[in-house]
Amino acid sequence: MTRASLFLAAALIAFSAQAQAAPKAAKPAKPAVAAPVTNAAPGDAYYQAGQAALAKALTVNPRTGKAKNIILFLGDGMGISTVTAGRIYEGQQRGVDGESNSLSFEKLPWTALSKTYSHDTQVTDSAAGITAITTGVKTRNKIIGLTGAAKPESCASEAGTRVETIAELAKAHGLSAGAVTTTRITHATPAGTYAHTAYRDWEGDSDMPAEALSGGCVDIARQLVEAPAGVRLDVAFGGGRSRFLPEAKDGKRADGRDLTAEWLKTPGAAYVTTDAQLAALDPAKTGPVLGLFANEHLPYEVERPILGEGVPTLAAMATKAVDLLSKNPKGYFLLVEGGKIDMGSHLNNAKRTLTETVEFSKAVQAVLEKVNLDETLVIVTADHSHGLVISGYANRNAPILGLAGNEGEPILAGDGKPYTVLSFATGPGGPEGSNLRGDPTKEDTDDVDYHQNATANLPSSAHSGEDVGVFADGPGAYLVHGVVEESFIYQVMRHAYGFDAR
């Protein structure tokens, strides 16, 4: 072996010995386990409320059977901001926390958003809105119970465009049907259960042009009374007596007819005009009932002490309607409209809007306490929204009809004046001509006739086009979820009844 080979062999032996003697590499250490986070939330009232809400939500099971009855509550013009302001107002009136309060229908487990555009406009009116809900067909503004092929104020266009309402469909299947409202019973929303007309304002014959009359079109009041027995409403409560009576009886009918007398020709029929007469009705002994409690619309709730003598509340009308309709063993359909929510907003008068919303909520609660949700589908929604806005940053529990502020101090706008929490996009509260807006610190914002500020002045506040809420419980209510077309509500009701599509 050469000297080089001996040297290499010795080096290898030495390297091997070192490798054996060297300690083994340590394994990577496991990451330290984090100590449990101390969470103060379980003691927090909001956290606990959330836990309670989750526990309740986990108990909700869909009722998948068929509905014997359907009650459709419609808050006219009751957009999301109106619901929010209404819940705060209702809570504050009761002396509880308004912001965390809930109106009766907000407690219903199934909810959705409804897209309210009409066939021809981004922002619907009540006529097209109710037509979508009660027929499943979107139509043009001003039109009731006809497809979008009809033209507003065109009598001739009514031919071939009629669509069946959910009330008429229920009647055709042997059920009963009714409509209750705080407006004229011939107004757009209640008329959406029984009328088919090219113009929503053709409520009585004196409201119609000669061309429409000669063309054979029929006013809405006549349509209610003259409908064939197989589809005629069994209950109709609201205002609008003037459209049924001749001028000689303080009405507005130009044809001299007394439609209330014609209503009474049906065996067992009743006609009532006061809350006492309504309360005295015996469902077991009463046939179809027409209740007209005012010549025009019913008074606002804030006017009840002065103008409301003899006028029933919406809750009283709705619960009596349920009693009357329930005698049909096959079931019923009922529309209940809080129509003056919308009218308060048209005035930029938030106090009227919110008090009507609260009364609407009371009517929903009164009916919920009467019906069995295992057999009755209850849906609460609106036909459209209004331009009501809730602006920051008033303190928690600050009056919803008061001033916006920050840490108790009013926020000043660019003109140096504060602004109210509630305002409108358009309407009579807007600046007119060169007049600047008023200073709300010098006005009583809680006054029943106070008009909230608006951005643009109009004689009447315009509707708005954002989605509105849908709240439901009962058989088929589980279908109310997501963002849906307004016309989808009809499909839910039809399916809940178990009626085949036509």
The predicted pLDDT at position 9 comes to 45
Q: Which two tokens stand for residue 489?
A: 């509500």
CA dihedral (293, 213, 288, 382) positive or negative: negative
pLDDT over 80 at 25, yes or no: no
Domain match, 174 and 257 both: yes
Is 160 within the bounds of a domain? yes
- Closest by Cα among 164, 71, 160, 146 to 502: 164
**pLDDT band, residue 439 (cuts 50/70/90):** confident
pLDDT over 80 at 367, yes or no: yes
Is 236 in contact with 224 (CB distance < 8 Å)? yes
Q: Please tell me whether residue 294 adopts helix, strand or coil conformation.
A: coil
Report long-range pairs for 456-459 (Cβ below 8 Å, ≥24 apart).
Answer: 456/425, 456/426, 456/430, 457/426, 457/427, 457/428, 457/429, 457/430, 457/431, 457/432, 458/426, 458/427, 458/428, 458/430, 459/428
Domain match, 403 and 334 both: no
The predicted pLDDT at position 435 comes to 64
* From 36-45, 231-240, 274-283, 295-304, the region with the lowest mean pLDDT: 36-45
Residue type at 359 in one-letter notation: E
Q: Please tell me whether residue 56 adopts helix, strand or coil conformation.
A: helix
Average pLDDT score over residue span 300-316 = 97
The predicted pLDDT at position 93 comes to 97
- In this prediction, what percent of the chain has a pLDDT beyond 90? 86
Which secondary-structure segment (H or E) carries 304? helix 304-307
Our separate counts of H helices and E strands in the chain read 15, 17
The predicted pLDDT at position 33 comes to 63
Domain match, 311 and 437 both: no
Is 347 within the bounds of a domain? yes
Q: One of 81, 114, 126, 326 is an active-site residue; which one?
A: 126
Domain match, 437 and 340 both: no
The DSSP call for residue 403 is B
Average pLDDT score over residue span 272-295 = 97
Is 491 within the bounds of a domain? yes
Higher pLDDT pick, 443 / 491: 491
pLDDT, tens only, 153-204: 999 999 999 999 999 999 999 999 999 999 999 999 999 999 999 999 999 9
Domain match, 315 and 423 both: no
Is 8 within the bounds of a domain? no
Look up the domain containing 223 and give its range: 65-387+464-497
- Number of domains making up the chain: 2
pLDDT, tens only, 84-129: 999 999 999 999 999 999 999 999 999 999 999 999 999 999 999 9
CATH number of residue 75's parent domain? 3.40.720.10
Q: Please tell me whether residue 338 adopts helix, strand or coil conformation.
A: strand
Is 394 within the bounds of a domain? yes
Helix axis angle, 350-368 relative to 314-325, nearest 10°?
Answer: 30
- In this prediction, what percent of the chain has a pLDDT beyond 70? 91
Is 273 within the bounds of a domain? yes
Domain match, 249 and 373 both: yes
Average pLDDT score over residue span 345-371 = 98
Q: In 22-61, where does DSSP find H-type helix? A: 45-57
pLDDT over 80 at 401, yes or no: yes
Is 222 within the bounds of a domain? yes
Domain match, 359 and 250 both: yes
The DSSP call for residue 210 is H
pTM of this prediction exceeds 0.85: yes
Domain match, 370 and 409 both: no
* From 45-54, 352-361, 462-471, the region with the lowest mean pLDDT: 45-54
Is 2 within the bounds of a domain? no
The DSSP call for residue 439 is -
The predicted pLDDT at position 30 comes to 62
Backbone angles phi, psi at 75, to 5 degrees: -90, 105
Q: Rg of the chain over CA atoms, in angstroms? A: 32
The predicted pLDDT at position 1 comes to 46
Locate the DSSP E strands across 26-97.
69-75
Query: Catalytic residue at 157?
Result: no
Domain match, 316 and 405 both: no
The predicted pLDDT at position 28 comes to 56
**pLDDT band, residue 35 (cuts 50/70/90):** low
CA dihedral (472, 476, 482, 487) positive or negative: negative
Sheet with 376-381: list strands edge to edge: 270-272, 289-292, 235-239, 176-184, 332-338, 69-75, 376-381, 468-473, 110-115, 483-485
The predicted pLDDT at position 502 comes to 64
Domain match, 349 and 402 both: no
* From 10-24, 130-144, 312-326, the region with the lowest mean pLDDT: 10-24
- Quote the mean pLDDT of the chain: 92
Domain match, 395 and 262 both: no
Average pLDDT score over residue span 372-393 = 97
Domain match, 366 and 416 both: no
